[in-house]
Structure 1
């Protein structure tokens, strides 16, 4: 075998190994959780645990949260602590978490601008960029016109839309988890936390299989979760389980180098579906996969039971 053939074989083998490596960027919405911060004595246990994990994360900031609670100065210091971490990428999540489909163009432009005032200053202070925007509820607009207007607006403002491939309704698990904690039913809370981790792993399996079927390879996933009590206590366990499955934890920037994120978004509704579905050509194709997703019926029933009583 010639030297050239051996070199080409080695390059192909290396490329194959890179594509076969499971990888994911962890992204966290609704930062900073100032209510939980105050409840925990003005300390962020979530940030402390992420420090110990030493993995890159991207955070999407709602700046109105800084004005909640008893101490603006302490809340701003919390946001600063997030921003100064070397492994944290900063993103804009709008000022007050409004649905884009419920607003007009001018109003939403203001939401974006107000949502970057502190963040842009902190990004500059810590030599970072602020170039990703994630729509609250992943609501990109009620129709194709609003979708295109939103994309054009972000382009003018220098933002890229932050997509995701996997999420597991952690906000719903969190609501039930907090209810059990508040009622002192700690064993039930533990069961919910463990169920969240288990269900999330099911979603990883489902979308890994989706990627192999649709693209013939693994992809650089982006996982969406939230700054909440549930992830404070159970995201470390999820990370551990993913490490046991040989996942590499990558930055948002690295994930976005995957060519799948260059595809056209063909989904023009307001619901926050995975980008895998947005890239599919027809609603029929989407529904085929959606019907096969892991069931969240059990947690949904618990969630609806609790919220209906409040």
Structure 2
């Protein structure tokens, strides 16, 4: 009788695990918080934060504290960061102080920037009884070689940080630059066109990485979406959320996503370029490079971005 009960219990656990992994789940993570320049342009309000308040989804933010000093409204910028931190649905993360490229500046300078980037965030974490245990590299640049990778990983581990990966990213930073360029010219038609293309392309990237995950792991995985604090997401992230919801996604916290055992895998990618962790976990980088070439094409937006940067 007891063995029968044990078998039943074991089967229920297995069934529950299968059901959990069969669900589409994603954590939304937002880098480069707070966007103080946009905050000033929008008359000292964060339109993205207002939209997130209406959505009430779990969000993880990655803070660059230097942004507080990018405009002359420093006290208001402090309050803005405090407004982000106090939201119950928000998880705090460190994105370094000044958004340096680790592979360019090296270990000592970058380690100092990590420390500098947690000064205010630690106080806010304490104030709102939240942990500060997630770190994301600027540009997702983990170093130029295996030595740099291992050196900074060890340092972050000693400090109690976990490197935050991502599986899906759609170059929203490039779309937003073009989007804001058209808005500044009062070219609403082209701005709206860029916004809609961003939404469409983001869904294409989700579908692409869903297919890759299914091929690699034979099941849906819990995804992490990387985007940024910008005007584009203030206007279009809610639409992306709605479309993902319609595709069967539920939105969960970063901590919940990281419980998926795929995130326990070894990072085998020892270059400086920011690529999805689905590639980093592959043992064959030749295979990873071949798959990268099949990603949805962002060439049009990249060309427009480069053109604007040169103006």
1:212 equivalenced with 2:202 (yes/no): no
1:226 equivalenced with 2:209 (yes/no): no
Q: What count of residue pairs does the alignment treat as equivalent?
A: 308
Matches within 5 A, 1:122-201: 122-201=124-203
Unaligned 5+ segments in structure 1 are none
Give the match for residue 304 of structure 1: 306
Q: CA RMSD in A?
A: 1.3
Residues 170-210 of structure 1, C-alpha deviation per residue, up to 9 Å, x if partnerless?
A: 00101110111111110110010010010000000011111
TM-score for both structures, normalised by structure 1: 0.97
Give the match for residue 237 of structure 1: 239
Find the residue that maps to 1:27 and give its secondary structure: strand
Find the residue that maps to 1:300 and give its secondary structure: helix
**Displacement after TM superposition at 1:304 (Å):** 1.9
Matches within 5 A, 1:245-260: 245-260=247-262
Report the Cα distance in structure 2 between the residues aligned to 1:119 and 1:266, rounded to whole angstroms.
31
1:73 equivalenced with 2:87 (yes/no): no
Moved more, 183-192 or 100-109: 100-109
Tell me: CA distance 1:284–1:42, structure 2 relative to 1, closer, same or farther (3 Å).
same
Give the match for residue 287 of structure 1: 289
Report the Cα distance in structure 1 between the residues aligned to 2:146 and 2:6, rounded to whole angstroms.
50
TM-score for both structures, normalised by structure 2: 0.96
1:62 equivalenced with 2:64 (yes/no): yes
Residues 217-255 of structure 1, C-alpha deviation per residue, up to 9 Å, x if partnerless?
A: 111100000000100110011011111112110101111
Unaligned 5+ segments in structure 2 are none
**Displacement after TM superposition at 1:6 (Å):** 5.7
Tell me: CA distance 1:9–1:44, structure 2 relative to 1, closer, same or farther (3 Å).
same
Tell me: CA distance 1:106–1:7, structure 2 relative to 1, closer, same or farther (3 Å).
closer
Give the match for residue 83 of structure 1: 85
**Displacement after TM superposition at 1:153 (Å):** 1.0
> Paired residue for 1:261, among 257, 260, 263?
263
Give the match for residue 101 of structure 1: 103
Give the match for residue 117 of structure 2: 115
Report the Cα distance in structure 1 between the residues aligned to 2:14 and 2:156, rounded to whole angstroms.
38
